[in-house]
Amino acid sequence: MGDPRGIGPEVIHKALKHKSLLREGRFIVIGDKKFLGRLHPSVGVVDVPYKTAGEGSLGFLDKAIYLIKDGSADALVTAPLSKEEVSRCSKNFVGHTEYLARAFGVTDFDMMFIAHHVRLSIVTRHVPLKEVPKLITTKAVFNSISLMARTLKDRFKIRDPKIAVLGLNPHAGEGGLLGHEDAKFILPAIRQARAQGINAKGPLPADTFFAFHGSHCHSRGSGNPYDGIKRPNCFESERGFYDGVIAMYHDQGLAPLKGLYMKELVNFTAGLPFVRTSPAHGTAFDIAGKNKADPSSMLAALNLACQLA
């Protein structure tokens, strides 16, 4: 349920009113029953006691982890929580993604954001902008490309995924004039991926990459003109047709995606041994309890979890 003071309870309640969703699976809500209102009789609720919002948010998550490990659940959808609140009772907490990876002993994982036919991962995730350049290493970029390729094949059933890799600096470094990371670290990672049979391209300038053409390639019968493979699940940008995108840092990828697809955007954790999704918005304390929250992103997260599990 996430933070009980946020919009998590409201968007869960609204999303679980959709009969078409309820036909897709069996749902168990973990949280505080009194915040959820009346749910469909088929929806189970697990009440978890807590004293503070942060303790509750973490307690709900720990119970969900138990149910996944126990085999009682196949997928996990997390509502937003406050990292600040949770960090007061768990000092090393930086977010759902890292906490879940640690709980399941996973070291190779990524945040993947999905909307329509755009799938985007971020190399450096939640770190201060000033820390980003030193974290852009050939190993880190290659790992993101490799995990994206495996996830697209295994979870999304795309036979030969084509992956775009964005540059770090303006114009992907402009031949070294605007930074050396693109040529020194990102390009070798792409070459390493291609040597292993991964269809990766870049580094591509991020400022023009999200300039979409008039129609997405999933609506074109001709498929991908670059390799002749029909791609009903990719998208068309200014830079071509791609099944996945690797961004170097948080805002580089998420600013354009949230601007384009905020209501439908879903966060998917690649690399976990189970399906985990979440809406791409936060707790929105300012509108919590006012019946103003839009459940679209939560509904998309629930639908995607059902599809992939």
Structural domains in the chain (count): 2
51 pLDDT higher than 90: yes
Residue 239: predicted pLDDT: 65
Question: Is the domain of 250 the same as that of 281?
Answer: no
Please tell me whether the overall predicted TM-score, pTM, comes out greater than 0.85 for this model: yes
Q: Which of 89-93, 140-144, 280-284 has the lowest mean pLDDT?
A: 89-93
Question: Is the domain of 226 the same as that of 280?
Answer: no
pLDDT tens, residue by residue, 96-132 = 999 999 999 999 999 999 987 889 999 998 899 999 9
Which residue range(s) make up the domain with 215?
Answer: 109-271
Question: Is the domain of 33 the same as that of 168?
Answer: no
Question: Is the domain of 309 the same as that of 190?
Answer: no
pLDDT tens, residue by residue, 247-261 = 999 999 999 999 888
We report the CATH number of the domain holding residue 308 as: 3.40.718.10
213 pLDDT higher than 50: no
> Mean of the pLDDT values across residues 202-224?
62
> How does DSSP assign the chain, residue by residue?
---TTSSHHHHHHHHTT-HHHHTT---EEEE-HHHH----TT-EEEE---SSHHHHHHHHHHHHHHHHHHTS-SEEE-----HHHHHTT-TT---HHHHHHHHTT--S-EEEEEETTEEEEESS-S--GGGHHHH--HHHHHHHHHHHHHHHHHTT--SS-EEEEE-SSGGGGGGGTT-SHIIIIIHHHHHHHHHTT-EEEEEE-HHHHT---SS-GGG-TT--TTTS---TT-EEETTEEESEEEESSHHHHHHHHHHHHTTT-EEEEETSSSEEEEESS---TTTTTTT----HHHHHHHHHHHHH-
> Mean of the pLDDT values across residues 163-179?
92
32 pLDDT higher than 90: yes
Question: Is the domain of 139 the same as that of 149?
Answer: yes
